[in-house]
Amino acid sequence: MGDKSGRETKDAKKKRKVFPDDYFRYDKEDAYKIISSMHEHIREAYKLGLGIKPDRPFQRVLVAGMGGSGIAGDLLKELFEAEPTCPVAVDTVKNYQTPTGIDDNTLLIAISYSGNTEETLSMYKTGIRKGCQALLVSSGGKMEELAKLNKHAIIKLPKGLQPRMAIAYLFFPILRVMENSGVVRSYEQEVNGLVDTLKQQDIREKAIELSAKCYEKIPLILADNSFYPVAYRWKTQVNENAKAPAFCHALPEFNHNEMLAYTNRIGSYYAVMLSTDREHRRVIKRIGLTKELLQHKGVAVTEIAVKGTMLKQMFTTIHLGDMTSYFLALRYETDPTPVKLIERFKRDMGPFLI
Least CB distance to a copy of itself at residue 322 (A): 14
Candidates 167-175, 195-203, 210-218, 311-319; binding stretch for a copy of itself (CB under 8 A): 210-218
Query: What element of type H or E holds 62?
Result: strand 60-64
Contact between residue 24 and residue 337 where contact means Cβ atoms under 8 Å apart = no
Candidates 133-141, 172-180, 205-213, 283-291; binding stretch for a copy of itself (CB under 8 A): 283-291
280 counts as binding a copy of itself under rule CB under 8 A? yes
| Options 131, 158, 245, 298; binder of a copy of itself; rule CB under 8 A | 245
Contact between residue 113 and residue 342 where contact means Cβ atoms under 8 Å apart = no
DSSP string across 223-269: EEGGGHHHHHHHHHHIIIII----EEEEETGGGGTGGGGGSS--S-E
Contacts with a copy of itself, 117-156, as mask; x by CB under 8 A: -xx-------------------------------------
Known catalytic residue at 291 = no
In the window 329-348, what residues touch a copy of itself (CB under 8 A)? Answer: 332, 334, 339, 341-342, 345, 348
Least CB distance to a copy of itself at residue 190 (A): 20
Candidates 99-107, 129-137, 147-155, 165-173; binding stretch for a copy of itself (CB under 8 A): 99-107
**Total residues belonging to the chain:** 354
Tell me how crowded residue 47 is: count the other CB atoms within 10 A of its CB: 12
244 counts as binding a copy of itself under rule CB under 8 A? yes
Q: How many Å separate Cα 11 from the centre of its chain?
A: 31
Judged by beta carbon, residue 161 or residue 195, the one nearer a copy of itself is 161
Judged by beta carbon, residue 48 or residue 310, the one nearer a copy of itself is 310
Catalytic pick among 33, 151, 256, 340: 256
Known catalytic residue at 240 = yes
| Options 23, 26, 32, 247; binder of a copy of itself; rule CB under 8 A | 247
CA 297, CA 258: separation in Å to the nearest integer? 13
Catalytic pick among 119, 179, 240, 279: 240
In the window 2-41, what residues touch a copy of itself (CB under 8 A)? Answer: none
Contact between residue 216 and residue 332 where contact means Cβ atoms under 8 Å apart = no
Nearest to 193 by CA among 50, 42, 48: 42
- Beta strands 247-251 and 89-93 are unpaired
Judged by beta carbon, residue 46 or residue 80, the one nearer a copy of itself is 80
3-state secondary structure of 84: coil
Catalytic pick among 125, 130, 206, 346: 346
100 counts as binding a copy of itself under rule CB under 8 A? yes
In the window 63-92, what residues touch a copy of itself (CB under 8 A)? Answer: 66-68, 70, 80-81, 86-89
Query: What element of type H or E holds 106?
Result: strand 106-111
∠272-248-108 over CA atoms, to 5°? 125
Least CB distance to a copy of itself at residue 235 (A): 8
Known catalytic residue at 188 = no
Contact between residue 276 and residue 306 where contact means Cβ atoms under 8 Å apart = yes
CA 282, CA 295: separation in Å to the nearest integer? 20
| Options 116, 180, 255, 309; binder of a copy of itself; rule CB under 8 A | 255
User: How far, CA to CA in Å, does 90 sit from each of 7, 49, 76, 263?
Assistant: 56, 18, 7, 38
Least CB distance to a copy of itself at residue 70 (A): 7
CA 274, CA 290: separation in Å to the nearest integer? 12
Least CB distance to a copy of itself at residue 257 (A): 4
CA 188, CA 186: separation in Å to the nearest integer? 6
Q: Which residues bind a copy of itself (CB under 8 A)?
A: 60, 66-68, 70, 80-81, 86-89, 94-97, 99-101, 118-119, 216-218, 225, 235-236, 238-240, 242-247, 250, 252-253, 255-269, 280, 282-283, 285-286, 289, 293, 332, 334, 339, 341-342, 345, 348-350, 352
Active-site residue numbers?
Answer: 240, 256, 346
